[in-house]
A and B are shown apart, each in its own frame.
Chain A
């Protein structure tokens, strides 16, 4: 009989349980009799456990993936010997709050992509006393992210966007003066704050996350971040110093709330032939870097001609929607901390077509 993995933890919610399998790196949400089984699973003898799992898998073959070991996807062990990295690079300096960071690239196109959201942070003069040096250097097939002289991450060149997230993370750490924070999770989301309440704005690509964020920031909300939000193990999320990126089809609506948008030049970068503008941080966030506790999650869906609606989501739906969109630190007890946070978090589905009719709904319900 196979040697099946036991769950790392079982976290009970009102009418379902969240289960995590460390070695498969999978969450399982169950309702009904399976909840009883996983609650009991820690006290069952190994043979009995394996026998029951085999029975369960025979009726639900897709569950097998939870009980087996996944291939590791980490790349913590870097072999720095034998790297053939060009000593020539292009350098810029960014002012992140009180930290001056020198960023170095040896490929111009990578520099353009990575630095587009940070152009507003570039220093005009060369400051000799830089605090940190962050380098993205390449060899024949890979890109490497260095902090000082230490490699902290790498990716294939054709998957440069994977390293881009690590680059953005590191800039957030510099912005908040953090020492390589062990993050609990990261969200592909935007975030805003009003009246000491912070909202994470989620949605499919193109659903209007950044547009809604810009509109909210033009009507009294404080900007927290665009595209990437990091959360620590105490459930704090951190201001992201990157600019807010807006696609061309949103410029007209957003300019009603941000007059400055009309005088901002489009970026040289396009996204799938769509022109982009980057709203610099100082136009939407006046305060120094802050961290926040999330009050609610909002899944946005811009739908022309729809009636504006803010519908509460069940905890089951929140878990089902958020986990596949989130990177959760697989180390230590982070997945359990994440599950603990998730089952007590509120969430809403927001549908709208006209922002002016939405403001009163948000003010009333949030």
Chain B
């Protein structure tokens, strides 16, 4: 019984938070940042690539 109560409370809290987060997300600030995918020197300037790419 106690266990069920705790689960119910936890669930209720989660649902309350769900509403809070969803409602306020637009007010939050976020930035997605992609680190470089590979270590690389700067790509060459056009015409500098001996293989014709880049």
Chain A interfacial positions (CB closer than 8 Å to B): 16, 25-37, 40, 44-45, 48, 51-52, 55-56, 59-60, 62-63, 65-66, 73, 107, 109-110, 113, 156-162, 164-166, 168-169, 185-186, 188, 205, 227-228, 270-273, 319-320, 323-328
How long is the Cα–Cα vector from A63 to B39 in the complex, in angstroms? 25
Cβ of B53 to closest chain A Cβ, rounded Å: 3
Q: A125 CB to closest chain B CB, in angstroms?
A: 30
* A188 pairs with B42, CB closer than 8 A: yes
The reply to whether A270 and B48 form a contact with Cβ atoms under 8 Å apart is yes
* Residues of B near any A CB (own CB < 8 A): 10-11, 14-15, 17-18, 20-22, 24-54
**Total contacts A-B at CB 8 Å:** 156
- The answer to whether A48 and B31 touch (CB under 8 A), given A59-B22, A160-B49, is no
Q: Which 4 A-B pairs have the closest CB atoms?
A: A158-B53, A272-B45, A32-B28, A55-B22
Question: Assuming A26-B33, A55-B21, is B28 touching A159 (CB within 8 A)?
Answer: no
Whether A33 and B39, one on each chain, are in contact in the complex, defined by CB atoms closer than 8 angstroms, is: no
Complex CA–CA separation, A190 to B39 (angstroms): 15
Q: Is B38 in contact with A162, judged by CB distance below 8 angstroms?
A: yes
Give 8 A-B contacts (CB < 8 Å), ordered by A residue: A25-B35, A26-B33, A33-B28, A36-B21, A52-B21, A56-B21, A164-B41, A324-B36
With A and B bound together, what is the CA distance between A107 and B50 in angstroms? 10
How far is B34's CA from A186's CA once the two chains are assembled, in angstroms?
14
How far is B30's CA from A227's CA once the two chains are assembled, in angstroms?
30
Partner of B22, one of A32, A56, A164: A56
Q: How far is B20's CA from A34's CA once the two chains are assembled, in angstroms?
A: 10
Assess whether A33 is in contact with B25, with CB atoms less than 8 Å apart: yes
| B43 (CB) vs chain A CBs: closest residue | A161
List chain B residues, Cβ under 8 A from A52. Answer: 17-18, 21-22
The answer to whether B25 touches A31 (Cβ under 8 A) is: no
Contact check, A28 vs B30: say whether CB atoms are below 8 A apart: yes
Nearest chain B CB to A5's CB is how many angstroms away? 14
A122–B41 Cα distance when bound, in Å, is: 22
The reply to whether A165 and B39 contact each other, CB–CB distance below 8 Å, is yes
> Inside 8 A of B36's CB, which chain A residues have their CB?
188, 324-328
B44 touches A33 (CB 8 A): no
